[in-house]
Amino acid sequence: MSSLVIADVTMVDVCEGRLAPSVDIWVAGERIDAVVRAGERSHDGARVLSGAGLTALPGLINLHVHLCLDSSADPRSALVGDTREGLLLKMVEHAALTLSGGITTVRDLGCPGDLIFALRESVEAGRVPGPRIVACGEVITRTGGHGSGWLGREVDGEAAVRRAVRHQLKRGADGIKIMLTGGVLTPGTSSHHVGFSRGELVAAVEEARRENVLIAAHAQGAAGVETCIDVGIDTVEHGTYMDARWAEAMVEQGMTWVPTLSPHRCAGRARQEGKLPPLAETSPLRSTRRKENYPRSLTPEALGRFASFGKTEGLCVGVGSDAGVTFTPHFDLVTEMEMFVESGFEVSQVLHMATLGNAEILNLDGSVGSIEEGKYADLLLVSGNPLDDLSTLRELVTVIKGGEVVHRGQLGNRCGVRHRG
């Protein structure tokens, strides 16, 4: 097995938030073998990828995606109207798009049936390109709750909740996702109402704990966030109506907040461009019972909450875009990262959060998230310094996953691998 060396590259050290100039990154098989000063080892017998003038950083990690959704104006209807086979083919396409955006690991938080497990296995076997997938399978929702009939498994009562969690784990789920509140894409549900009893939620948490997997909860309204804290949910998804009390309580409980800011901006832009109907009009995305969900979630006030509470001392915040929902593309995590910076985070902090920080949340930091010996060689090459400007991540030169070049941008097509010896 020949080695690959990315020669004379500037490396982003996400642990320290600094650049390490002029290094050689050695890759053996799927993993990083060593990071040494440029030229310290002979390149004889190795495949050499010139990194001169380029910057290497770890592959990005997206903590919240739906590979089954197509980022259209109405992704729910697109999913419901498709066949199982057609949906799986779309998911293969979305996985490849994800990888092309430099996202080498994702957590998929909701997909009908067992399709996400089939895709995960196909990616792992090398049959199709895609990121590493942490799969939660079907979401668990109450009868008539968010995701019912299209994304989730409807259950009522503590015993049924336990069976549903166990069934997902039997299928091969890496984690569990439960819908505490209503959501934008399910007509007739409210983001401010908690759909499960405390006993039902405790049952779900107990079953997840028993198998040592994380449990995530869709919770938009304040009541949903409060309930997550009460029952011990691991990761709160969205938290659109977060306030200071709950942010501080999450610190005490050691919980994680994944705010998913991107859909607010992406849908807002689409509305300005006339791609979404005016708020007063009806559409498949709205019903009279829940008109408050979509408009209010797009207001500057909602984004201001993140700026106010996201930097609460000690609060663990994850970076996830909710890729696949309305006008939120699978290849783009940079918008989410830029919104973190706009909310007061330093660029170096955000790069750490979107790589090693997310890996730590998923308990994968021993394998991914930074450029270190023994970890998977999931690497991005860019022109420029991402510590100065995150937009450099929109023009990727090369994407490497598991030691293999899986995508080249326009610059990358002019920078080939050569063999020495």
β-strand 404-408 against 256-258: which pairing, if any? unpaired
So what's the pLDDT on residue 288? Answer: 37
Quote the CA–CA distance of 400 and 6 in Å, as a whole number: 11
Domain span at 393: 3-59+371-419
What confidence category does residue 147 fall into, taking pLDDT thresholds of 50, 70 and 90? Answer: very high
Q: Give the 3-state secondary structure of residue 251.
A: helix
In which residue are the tokens 């697109």 written? 78
CB 12 within 8 A of CB 55: yes
Q: Is residue 366 part of a domain?
A: no
CATH code of residue 379: 2.30.40.10
Rounded mean pLDDT, 159-185: 97
What confidence category does residue 420 fall into, taking pLDDT thresholds of 50, 70 and 90? Answer: low
Query: What average pLDDT does the chain have?
Result: 91
Q: What percent of the chain has pLDDT over 70?
A: 90
What confidence category does residue 89 fall into, taking pLDDT thresholds of 50, 70 and 90? Answer: very high
Amino acid at 63: L
- What does each C-alpha distance from 115 to 167, 300, 380 come to in angstroms? 15, 36, 28
What confidence category does residue 413 fall into, taking pLDDT thresholds of 50, 70 and 90? Answer: very low
Q: Is residue 148 part of a domain?
A: yes
Rounded mean pLDDT, 403-421: 65
Phi and psi (nearest 5°) for 297? -70, -15
For residues 196 and 278, state if they share a domain: yes
What confidence category does residue 268 fall into, taking pLDDT thresholds of 50, 70 and 90? Answer: confident
Given a cut of 80, whether residue 354 has pLDDT beyond it is yes
pTM of the model: 0.94
For residues 176 and 293, state if they share a domain: yes
What confidence category does residue 299 fall into, taking pLDDT thresholds of 50, 70 and 90? Answer: low
What confidence category does residue 409 fall into, taking pLDDT thresholds of 50, 70 and 90? Answer: confident
For residues 117 and 78, state if they share a domain: yes
Given a cut of 90, whether residue 285 has pLDDT beyond it is no
So what's the pLDDT on residue 293? Answer: 41
**Comparing C-alpha atoms, which of 135, 132, 134, 131 is closest to residue 407?**
131
Count structural domains, the chain: 2
For residues 206 and 327, state if they share a domain: yes
For residues 90 and 165, state if they share a domain: yes
Given a cut of 80, whether residue 35 has pLDDT beyond it is yes
